[in-house]
Amino acid sequence: MNKRALAIFAAIGATIIYGLNHTIAKGVMPDYVKPFGFIMLRVIGASILFWAISYFGPKEKIDKKDYPRMLLCAVLGMGANMLVFFKGLSLSTPINSAVLVTITPIIVVVLSALFIKEKIIAKKLIGIGIGFLGALGLIFFSVESRQDAPNIPLGNFLILMNSVFYGSYLIGAKTLIAKYHPFTFMKWLFTIGIFLCLPFGYQELTEIDWQNLPFETLWKITFVIVGTTFCTYLFNIFALTQLKASTVSAFVYVQPLIGIIYALATGRDTLTTVKILAACLVFLGVYLASRKPSSSRAVDTHTNKTN
C-alpha cells in the first residue's frame, strides 16, 4: 500500500475518532468526571505521550522570539478551546456538538479576512451567513428538556465559541507549524496547556473517585486521551505529509455524519426537526464558505477539527 493511500486511511481514522468522541466523552460527564477535570486528564495524558514520542523526533529548541506566539497558541488551542468545548458538551447533546464543530472552516475564513486580509468572495459570504444561521438556530431554538443536558442553548453557544477559539489557534499556529517538527510543537503546547487549565480543572480533577469508576467509564477516558487527543494529531500530521491541507480538511464533512449515527445507535441522542434543519444550513454554509474557486491558488489552511 502506498503512502498516499495510508494517508487517506489516517485522515479517515482521525475523522471517525472525532465523530465517536462526541458521544463517548458525553457518557463520562458529568456523572463520573466533570468537564474541566476531564480536560486536565487530556492535557496531562497527551503531554506524557508527546514527550515520550518526541524521543524519536529531532531535538529542537524554541526560539525566544516565538515564546509569545507559542503561549497564545496554547491559550487558544489547549486552554480556551478545550475548556469551552467540554463544558458545552456537558450542557448540550452529542448531535448538537457534532453539527456545531463543523462550522470551524467558516470561522477560519472570517478570521483570515480580519487578520491576514484574505479576500472573501460573494459565494463565501453567502456561505458564512447560511452557516451562522444554522448555528444560531441550534442555540436559540433548541427546546429539549433532558437530564443529561441541563442547559442546551448555553452548551451550544460554548461549542460555537470552541470553534472560534480553535479557528484563531489555526491562524496563530500556521508559522510555528511550518517552523518546528510536530512532535516539538505539540509536546510544548500540551505542557503549557497543563498550567493554563490547572486553575480551572484542579478541583474537579481531585474529585474523581477513581476506585469506584466502572470499567466502561475507564475505557471512555482512555479513548479520549489516547484516541481523540493523541492519535488524531498523529494521524492528521501523517495525512498532511502526503495530502493537501484542503483534502484533509474535507473530511470535516464526514465527522457529523459519524457522530449523529453513533449517537442514535447508542441511544444517547435523538433527531429533532430543529437539529435536521440547522444541520442542513451549517453543512451548506460550510460547503460554500470553504470551497475554493477553480482559478484560485490560495494557500491551503488546515481546518480539520480537534476537540
With helix as H, strand as E and coil as C, how does the chain read? CCHHHHHHHHHHHHHHHHHHHHHHHHCCCCCCCCHHHHHHHHHHHHHHHHHHHHHHCCCCCCCHHHHHHHHHHHHHHHHHHHHHHHHHHHHCCHHHHHHHHHHHHHHHHHHHHHHCCCCCCHHHHHHHHHHHHHHHHHHHHCCCCECCECCHHHHHHHHHHHHHHHHHHHHHHHHHHHHCCHHHHHHHHHHHHHHHHHHHHHHHHHCCCHHHCCHHHHHHHHHHHHHHHHHHHHHHHHHHHHCCHHHHHHHHHHHHHHHHHHHHHCCCCCCCHHHHHHHHHHHHHHHHHHCCCCCCCCCCCCCCCCC
Task: Look at residue 247 in the predicted model and tell me its pLDDT.
Answer: 66
Q: Give the pLDDT confidence score for residue 143 in this predicted structure.
A: 64
CB atoms within 10 A of CB 225: 20
Delimit the domains of the chain by residue range: 3-290
pLDDT at 297 (0 to 100): 42
| CB neighbour list of residue 245: distance below 8 Å, 6 or more residues apart | 300, 301, 302, 303
pLDDT tens over the chain, length 307 residues: 688 888 889 889 988 999 999 999 999 998 899 999 999 999 999 999 999 999 888 889 999 999 999 999 999 988 999 999 999 999 998 988 888 887 877 777 788 787 767 777 787 788 878 887 887 887 777 666 677 788 888 999 999 898 888 888 878 887 888 888 888 989 999 999 999 999 999 999 999 999 999 999 999 999 999 999 999 888 887 787 777 765 666 677 788 888 888 999 998 888 888 888 888 888 888 778 766 655 444 444 444 555 6
pLDDT at residue 199 in the model: 95
Length of the chain in residues, anyone? 307
pLDDT of residue 304: 54
Note the pLDDT of residue 301.
Answer: 45
- According to the model, what pLDDT value does residue 142 have? 67
Residue type for 151, please?
Answer: N
What the block records as the C-alpha cell of 301 is: 489552511
Single-letter code of the amino acid located at 163: S
Instruction: Please work out, in degrees rounded to the nearest 5, the angle formed at the alpha carbon of residue 178 by the alpha carbons of 173 and 182.
Output: 80
Q: Give the side-chain half-sphere CA count within 13 A for 56.
A: 4
Cβ(178)–Cβ(110) below 8 Å: no
**Cα R_g (the chain), whole angstroms:** 19
